[in-house]
Amino acid sequence: MKYFFPALMVFVILAGVSLTLTPYIAEQFFPASKTTLRVADPERAKQALADWFGTTPANVTDVQASNQSAAQGSTSWFMFGTERTGVEYFIRQNNLKQQNLSPEILQNTFMTQQPPAPWWQPAALERETCFIGSAEGREIGLIYHAELKKGFLIVRTHQKPAKF
């Protein structure tokens, strides 16, 4: 009985220290802030865009795509060519609102987080308007040039915090 309370105190102190250090040790093996950037397979990206635009993959051309995933969510960037009708369908389906493409909107929506890819140049379309909205937990930004039949699309999803 003489050593019970000192042993209990040592056990409680060691348990407290180990519980305090566990998140730091776990972060080394399972980082929560790990970010992965990958270039998407053009055929899969073309199929995804065709599905979104309500058209066939043959009607979607010049596809470039990248995706960045992190614990906080993901961002996907697309450059594409397609007919206006598919883009109009996408805008209606996602309830996107037409807005003036000011330098602030261009910077905050399309350029804040950008892939390290030379093809991501939405300002090169020289448009005055863009389409922005939220649908099904996604933030969507679209710039489309109807005469060139070329567009840039950014889709962001945010991870919802876990409820305890």
pLDDT digits (tens, 9 = 90+) for 81-135: 999 999 999 999 899 999 988 888 888 888 877 666 788 888 888 888 899 998 7
- 24: tokens are 């730091």
164 pLDDT higher than 70: no
- pLDDT grade for 151, boundaries at 50, 70 and 90: very high
Q: Give the pLDDT confidence score for residue 30 in this predicted structure.
A: 65
* First-to-final CA distance of the chain: 40
Percentage of residues in the chain with pLDDT exceeding 70? 88
Which amino acid belongs to residue 152? F
Percentage of residues in the chain with pLDDT exceeding 90? 21
- pLDDT grade for 50, boundaries at 50, 70 and 90: very high
Helix or strand or coil: residue 144? Answer: strand
Q: Decide: residue 150, CB within 10 A, 0-12 exposed, 13-18 middle, 19+ buried.
A: middle
Question: Pairing between strand 36-39 and 129-135?
Answer: unpaired
